[in-house]
Structure 1
Amino acid sequence: MNKNLISQTLSNFFMFKELASEQIETIALHSQLIQFPKGTSVFNRGDAAVGLYILLDGQLKLGVTSPQGSEKIISIVTPGESFGEAILFLERQFPVYAQATLDSDVLLVPKSLIFSMLDNDPLFSRKMLAGLSIRMHQLVQDIEMLSLQSCTQRFIGYLLQISADAPDASNITLPASKSTIASLLNLTPETLSRTLAKLQQLGLIAVNGKDVMITDVKKLHSYELSI
């Protein structure tokens, strides 16, 4: 990926949208493009944050592994999203790991550059705070979902969320494996399989591998509210 494409990606990134072209060029010049083949680690739990990460292409998962070896997925990162910024400002070690689930291109914006821009650009500071606030709001919603909703409600909510960003809301390709999605929703793979079968029996969805067709989005949402 050349510097022009990197600059374009940065200018569309929500934290950098209001920056002048010269500032975008400076960030692009000092940032590092790193390729991570599928299955490789971007960082491990316990590593120190060295900058702000932006996923340009591919897919990542953020997760933790218990002492018993079981994996819990915290988040699935898709192109255009950043990750690791909260730990960057706390100057602590990462409490999660980041691993490529597809061949991925990641842009690393150095910590020193971020801190310099925060010191010298109030607008950039406000944008960064807005980004952290959005992330916190999403985490609160995730906690509410995991605490208060049934397994079926969790999956329907997730399905409707990703369908909102899809070109065709009724035809979706799941962005990760079913086992990864189950972990993300705090479900066992077996429970997710039963949930998929139940929704198919009700005629609300049709499943073919990772492809899910929602037969009626409104009916699916109504069913979510009724249970």
Structure 2
Amino acid sequence: MPRALKLSSAQQAMLGGALIASSLDRHEQDALLSCAVAVRYEPQDVLFREHDKARYFYCVLNGYVRLYRGSQDREADISICEPGDSFGECLVLAGEGYNYSAQAMEHAILARFDIAQVKALLDQRPRIGGAIARSLSQHLLSTMECLARDRMQTSPQRVAHYLLAHCTNEGTRASLRLPFQKSLLARKLGLAPEALSRAFSTLRTSGVSVCGRAIAIEDINVLRQV
């Protein structure tokens, strides 16, 4: 198990702005963060496996975490969690074990919350339970949006949607640098790596060029039409 460290002031400030804590007042935030420590994971480290008894939930401070189900022979990605994203907090309100596995995809630093300690706060500080419910509601809405996009959009459209949401405009031109490898982008968009490559090839005709992690968009209005 990775070594637990006290949260730094910068990490506490970041958690204060995360969805799970942003609606709480200072005293409530302090109470919630008193249940957390910072832990560091190496690439490919498994935080927990599906059906393990749950002791912790997490919020990403740095890096990326993959949530997935299945065995080594066949796995299905559920989500890629980015800095500020929390996962597993549903177990504060219901459940005993994790219903998916979690794996660090790069060097990652996470805030690890002790579920039993957070549960003990709820009677005296019920707004913490409300904040957790708010976070879970956002997870649900994001999942519904992801499902709708997967069913309604082609692979090139999914990639175009991501590029438009994350690019920096320079007039009609735009650009971005992926914060992670393209293999992780494929997982995030629910695509096989070869499907992502084909999507980028298709988008070349719409003025999208790729060089490593750097992506240039010739005309953002053309990409919007995709």
Q: TM-score, normalised by structure 1?
A: 0.84
Partner of 2:192: 188
Tell me which of 211, 222, 225 is aligned to 1:222. Answer: 225
Counterpart mapping for 1:8-19 below 5 A:
8-19=13-24
Gaps of 5+ in 1: none
Identical aligned pairs, as a percentage? 24
Superposition CA RMSD, Å: 2.5
Contact 2:59/2:85, CA 8 A, preserved across alignment: yes
Provide the C-alpha distance between the structure 2 equivalents of 1:77 and 1:50, rounded to a whole number of angstroms: 19
* SS, match of residue 61 in structure 1: strand
Residue in 2 aligned with 1:60?
65
Q: Which residue of 1 aligns with 2:213?
A: 210
Q: Which structure 2 residue ranges, 5 or more long, are not aligned?
A: 1-5
Matched residue, 2:111:
107
The structure that is helix-richer by fraction is 1
Q: Which residue of 1 aligns with 2:43?
A: 38
Deviation at 1:87, TM superposition (A): 4.0
CA distance in 2, matches of 1:106, 1:156: 30
- Secondary structure, aligned partner of 2:134: helix
Asked whether the equivalents of residues 7 and 37 of structure 2 are also in contact (C-alpha less than 8 Å), the reply is no
CA contact (8 A) 1:49 1:94 kept: yes
Q: Shift of residue 151 of structure 1? A: 1.6
The match for 1:130 is: 134
Distance 2:67 2:85 in 1: 13
Checking the alignment, whether the CA contact within 8 Å between 2:59 and 2:84 is kept in structure 1 is yes
1:47 aligns with 2:52: yes
C-alpha distance in structure 1 between counterparts of 2:99 and 2:129, whole Å: 24
Contact 1:3-1:29 at 8 Å conserved across structures: no
Q: Residue 60 of structure 2 contacts residue 109 of structure 2 at CA under 8 Å; is this kept in 1?
A: yes
Shift of 1:142: 0.9
CA positional deviation for 1:70 = 3.5
Could you tell me which of 71, 75, 99 is aligned with 1:71? 75
Asked whether the 8 Å contact 1:72–1:184 carries over to 2, the reply is no
Out of 84, 90, 95, the residue aligned to residue 91 of structure 1 is 95
Tell me the amino acid that sits aligned with residue 152 of structure 1: P
* Alignment-mate amino acid for residue 139 of structure 1: T
- In structure 1, the residue matched to 2:123 is 119
Contact 2:67 2:78 in 1 (8 A): yes
CA contact (8 A) 1:33 1:107 kept: yes
1:73 Cα deviation after fit = 2.1
Give yes or no for contact 1:72–1:183 (8 Å, CA) kept in 2.
no
Query: For this pair of structures, how many residues does the alignment match?
Result: 219
User: Deviating runs (4+, > 4 A) in structure 1?
Assistant: 166-169
Larger mean CA deviation between 104-113 and 18-27 belongs to 18-27
Distance 2:211 2:15 in 1: 36
